[in-house]
Structure 1
Amino acid sequence: MDLLEAILTLLGATVLVYYGGKFVLFSRMFFPKWCFPLSKTFFTSMGEWAVITGASEGVGRAYAFALAERGMNVVIMSRTKATLDQVAKEIGEKTGRTVKVVVADFSKENTFATIEEEIKDLNVGVLVNNIGVLPNIIPSRFLESEDLDKAITNVINCNVKTLCKMCKIILPGMENRRKGVIINIASGIASFPCPLYTLYAASKIFVERFSQGLQAEYKDRGILIQAVAPFGISTRMAHFQKANIVTLLPEDFVQKSLQYLTAGEKTHGSLCHTILGWLLHSIPLKVLHSEYVLQKLQNYIEKKIEQEENGST
């Protein structure tokens, strides 16, 4: 009896220490300025330039502004030159930093040689891999995707291949200088199997695993690599949902996410999204995968798209 009591006591203490440790680690998310401090010169100490893919709008645009405000010159990339030129003008006027525009269609196979040539002489200290596409406007089952072959190619090229290629282009310079930051934008919905977003979520899991493996390989070279997995952000991809406590404006999300840059190899980028991730993990997958929930999600997205097309709010 004494032995059993001792075993149970030890087991209870172990559980208490384990969850106590997890709580202490989680509690740091409430105080990022104190727990994960960055000096005012942190980003400029990494290098003169930041490169941001998918920077014409949304999260990419917000990262470009935020890094320019922190003293970096920025290279912004997207496929629409007119929009990039406007963003470049706004960044220059607001921050006084130099902005280089590189037109790149990441769904195409031959875009990376051009990118490499355009930035070969730049001292790149920060890379933000933000570009990403959904296979469908309305979430749907895999086989119900419109033009499935094209959807597969676009998702692989933009969400997976571009990530690897941009790291291949920029990482050697960081390794030579033994410093640099790579931020790879994943997605909160990839934290669990996500029907109707199966292809997209799978591509974003690749982003997470690639980032974590790369960080293990290059951490001792002075390079910080982090996957950022947000949930709701008011962007075109999310049909510009109204901002609230969970759905953040891109500018607000980016400012918060940069506060957690040294918080680990993966973060949700903000306290509210971290809590949301914990809550979703506490819901049984049987509930999340139920036909009722999936149908409600489809109906909600269809309604939002209809409102956009009709100019409603």
Structure 2
Amino acid sequence: MELMDLLFISLGASVVVYYGVKLLLFTRMLFPNLWFPLSKTFFTSMGEWAVVTGASEGIGRAYAFALAEQGMSVVIMSRTKVTLDQVAKEIVDKTGQKVKVIVTDFTQEEVFNEIEDQLKDLNIGVLVNNVGMLPSVIPCKFLDIADLDQTITSMINCNVKTMAKMCKITLPGMENRGKGVILNISSGAACIPFPLYSMYSASKVFVERLSQGLQTEYKDRGIIIQTVAPFGVSTRMAFYQETNLVTLSPEDFVKKSLQYVRAGDKTYGSIYHIVMGWLLQTIPLKVLHAQSVLQSFQDYVKSKVGQRFTTSASNASI
């Protein structure tokens, strides 16, 4: 009997310690500036240049501005030259930092030799792998995706291949200097199997796993490689939802997420998104994957997208 009592006491104590540690780790996320402080020269100490893919709008644009405001020169990359040129002008006007524009389409196969040539002489301290694409804004089943064969190729090129190739281009210089930061933008949708966005979610799981593996391989070289997995951010991909506590503006999200750069190999970027990630992983998948839940989710997105288009049309006619 005493042995059984000892066993149960030990088990209970282990559970208390386990959840106590988890609670302590969670409370650290409430005060990132206290637990994970960054010096004013942290980013510039990594190198002169920051490279941001998908920088013409949304989260990528916000990272480019934020890093320029930290004193870094920035390379902004996307496929729309007119928009990139405008973003470059705005960054120069606001921060006075140098901006290099590289126009490229990451959905295409052979773009990385030219990118590597344009980056080879730069002292790159920060890489933000942000570029990504959804197969469809409206969530739908895999076989219902339009132009499925081409979409598969484009998504793998953009969401998977680009991230790996950009790491391959920038990591050697960081390793030689013994410092650098790589932020790979994933998605909250990668924290569970995500029906109706299955291919997108799966592509972001690749981002997370490669990031975590690379961090283990290169952390002893002074390089930080971190996955950033946002939930709601008001961007075109999220049909510009109104901002609130959960749905942040790109600028607010990036400002918050940069506070967690030293917080480990993965962050959701803000305390509210951390809570959302915990909730999604706590709710049984049988509930989340119920047909009624998926149908309601699909209907919700359709209504939001429809409202967005209606509002845009109304504004255009005023």
TM range, smaller chain: over 0.9
Aligned partner of 1:198 in structure 2 is: 198
Deviations 1:68-97 (A, max 9, x none): 000000000000000000000000010110
**Superposition deviation, residue 310 in structure 1:** 2.3
Aligned partner of 1:257 in structure 2 is: 257
For 1:271, the aligned partner's letter is I
Aligned partner of 1:6 in structure 2 is: 6
CA distance in 1, matches of 2:242, 2:281: 25
Aligned partner of 1:161 in structure 2 is: 161
Aligned partner of 1:268 in structure 2 is: 268
Is 1:302 the counterpart of 2:318? The answer is: no
Question: 1:181-196 counterparts in 2 under 5 A?
Answer: 181-196=181-196
Deviations 1:135-156 (A, max 9, x none): 1121111111111111111110
Is 1:134 the counterpart of 2:134? The answer is: yes
**Superposition deviation, residue 279 in structure 1:** 1.4
Aligned partner of 1:152 in structure 2 is: 152
TM-score (norm 2): 0.97
Aligned partner of 2:213 in structure 1 is: 213
Aligned partner of 1:43 in structure 2 is: 43
Q: Kindly report structure 1 stretches of 4+ aligned residues shifted beyond 3 Å.
A: none
Check the 8 A contact 1:212/1:225 in 2, yes or no: yes
SS of the equivalent of 1:310 reads helix
For 1:199, the aligned partner's letter is M
**Superposition deviation, residue 292 in structure 1:** 1.0
Check the 8 A contact 1:136/1:151 in 2, yes or no: no
For 1:280, the aligned partner's letter is L
SS of the equivalent of 1:311 reads helix
Compare 276-285 and 5-14 and name the one that shifted more: 276-285
CA distance in 1, matches of 2:232, 2:284: 21
Question: 1:61-140 counterparts in 2 under 5 A?
Answer: 61-140=61-140
SS of the equivalent of 2:100 reads strand
SS of the equivalent of 1:125 reads strand
**Superposition deviation, residue 284 in structure 1:** 1.2
CA distance in 2, matches of 1:214, 1:146: 34
CA distance in 2, matches of 1:301, 1:89: 35
Provide the aligned length of Structure 1 versus Structure 2. Answer: 313
In structure 1, runs of 5+ residues without a counterpart are none
Aligned partner of 1:172 in structure 2 is: 172
CA distance in 2, matches of 1:203, 1:286: 23
**Superposition deviation, residue 305 in structure 1:** 2.1
Is 1:233 the counterpart of 2:238? The answer is: no
CA distance in 2, matches of 1:3, 1:303: 61
SS of the equivalent of 1:227 reads strand
> RMSD between aligned alpha carbons?
0.9
Is 1:56 the counterpart of 2:56? The answer is: yes
CA distance in 2, matches of 1:75, 1:59: 15
In structure 2, runs of 5+ residues without a counterpart are none
Deviations 1:9-37 (A, max 9, x none): 11111111111111111110011110000
Identity of aligned residues (%): 66
CA distance in 1, matches of 2:5, 2:255: 51
Aligned partner of 2:15 in structure 1 is: 15
